[in-house]
Amino acid sequence: MKKISIRSGARESEREFARMLFLELSEKGFEPVVGKSADAAAEILVWDQIGPEEAEELTEEISPSEPPLLLCVREINERIPEAVVCFERPFDIGRFLDYLKALMEGGKRELPSGNFGDRLLLDSVGQYAVFRGVRVALTGREYALLRFLDEKRGEAISRAELLRGIWNRDDETSENTVDVYIRHLRKKLDERFDTRFLITVRGKGYLLR
């Protein structure tokens, strides 16, 4: 897989989002490089706002070569050159990576259809969750539980499987332990951001949206 250069502005929110991209790209088999890199096959810019100086820089860096420059910004405005592929944050990281992979394999430039949604991200180094640029502190068990669900995101995982995978236990009387930790995570995530990350699937278990 070719290397990808990720650059961000000086704002903390920009650096944080660039960090999340780096982690996601690494986990998916890409070779991300932070900062300018002469041998990068693609370049991703992370900015919150596009002012006159940023717009001028974008115009100077536009190249007809493939793949195109990708910009991750909080709000699209008239200063952004039309030749720049722009993703308005927050967006679905999974679909962004699918688009990037298609570009690097010589695919089409068209953006994926449909609206981009929010996605909960996990930092494997700091072992915390990130949503809309906000860090959420987790205990070791909470992070392990979220990571287990994230590896099978969208798939319902039974309490018994979670108990074996996280606690290395196989007794049905301890399955309530899973419910307790799910409640802790819902308070930290679902209630804080007024959304539903952890879904209960009756008769099957839990899934991470």
Residue spans of the chain under pLDDT 70: 1-2, 35-42, 62-68, 82-83, 106-118, 125, 132-133, 172-173
The C-alpha atoms of residue 150 and residue 176 are separated, in whole angstroms, by: 21
**Which pLDDT score, from 0 to 100, does residue 173 have?**
61
- pTM beyond 0.85: no
**Which pLDDT score, from 0 to 100, does residue 162 have?**
93
The C-alpha atoms of residue 191 and residue 209 are separated, in whole angstroms, by: 15
Contact 124, 148 (CB under 8 A): no
The C-alpha atoms of residue 176 and residue 48 are separated, in whole angstroms, by: 43
Question: Is CATH 3.40.50.360 correct for 3-104?
Answer: no
**Which pLDDT score, from 0 to 100, does residue 117 have?**
45
**Which pLDDT score, from 0 to 100, does residue 42 have?**
54
> Tell me, what DSSP letter sits at residue 157?
B
Q: Where are the domains of the chain?
A: 3-104, 121-208
Question: Is CATH 1.10.10.10 correct for 121-208?
Answer: yes
Residue 107 backbone zone (phi > 0: left; psi -120 to 50: alpha; other: beta): beta
The C-alpha atoms of residue 179 and residue 59 are separated, in whole angstroms, by: 53
